[in-house]
Amino acid sequence: MENLMFLQRINIALSRGAVTSQLRDIDETNPISWEFSVFSQNGEDGIIDYLTRKIINPNYYFIEVGASEGLENNTSWLALGRKYEGVMYEGNLEAVSRLREYILPLALGVEAYPLFVNLENTEEIISCSLYKNPDVVSLDIDGNDYYIVRKMLESGLRPKIFVVEYNSAYGPEQRMTIVYHKDFVWDYSSYENYLYFGVSISAWRKLFEEHGYKFVTVERRGVNAFFVDPACFETCFLDNIKGLHFAENFYQLQKYRVTWEEQFQLMKNRMFVIIN
């Protein structure tokens, strides 16, 4: 029964994606018009799909860190719909088991490994990749994201497209992230602690710009940000993009019923690291 239900959810997701992708009125300069959702929680699938089709020399390979069970992530569409190869990492053992049982048989060339990612094992991800320049790296671990991405970039991993989550409760200007703890787990059970995770969009922009990446956009629900290696795309395409620079996280806005300024007040006394 579980097997049938899981396969039904996959079919529903693929059907939804097939319909919504065709309904888009695409404007090459407006990333919001690229959005659609197959397995992604928001419009990430559409933005990733559009950007990967613009890569000059693709290798059709991805890495996703924080892949969950494969039904709500940023690379299952690439694996199932676009026949990409790649590797998925997930810290929850049950989720990895479901990934291997239900997603991988339909996605030849994709591997899945259990790994709770921290700075001590980030090199394992890099060394296991078939490419140092995969088409896509997506990271969503709801915690030490900044430190992991910085280590990846400093260690020579250079994906053509890098997708990361940001925490809109920090606002559009503050450059900040949480204090690193290798065992950090997002506390979504507490009303106040729920907001204490991740990175501000401004901190992400500074880090990626220091490594030669170009900011593209955030998606309209204010969860993910997209960066690209400009050497892998036509300059005229990138120069004409008019991306969205900041958006409130829809789910946090819905949960708290106040904007990011008041959300930040709920956790302002926590320990943060300011990115200079």
Tell me the whole-structure pTM to 2 decimals: 0.94
**What does the block give as tokens for 160?**
């053509």
Q: According to the model, what pLDDT value does residue 2 have?
A: 62
The span from the CA of 79 to the CA of 64, in Å, is: 11
Which residue shows structure tokens 């809109």?
168
Q: According to the model, what pLDDT value does residue 57 have?
A: 97
Backbone angles phi, psi at 163, to 5 degrees: -115, 125
Q: According to the model, what pLDDT value does residue 45 have?
A: 96
Q: According to the model, what pLDDT value does residue 1 have?
A: 58
Domains of the chain, residue spans: 2-274
Intervals of the chain under pLDDT 70: 1-2
Q: According to the model, what pLDDT value does residue 251 have?
A: 94
Three-state secondary-structure class, residue 243 = coil
Backbone angles phi, psi at 166, to 5 degrees: -125, 160
**pLDDT per residue as tens digits for the range 70-84:** 888 999 999 999 999
Q: According to the model, what pLDDT value does residue 102 have?
A: 86
The span from the CA of 95 to the CA of 147, in Å, is: 24
**pLDDT per residue as tens digits for the range 176-198:** 999 999 999 888 777 778 999 99
The span from the CA of 60 to the CA of 151, in Å, is: 23
Q: Specify the CATH class of 2-274 in words.
A: alpha beta
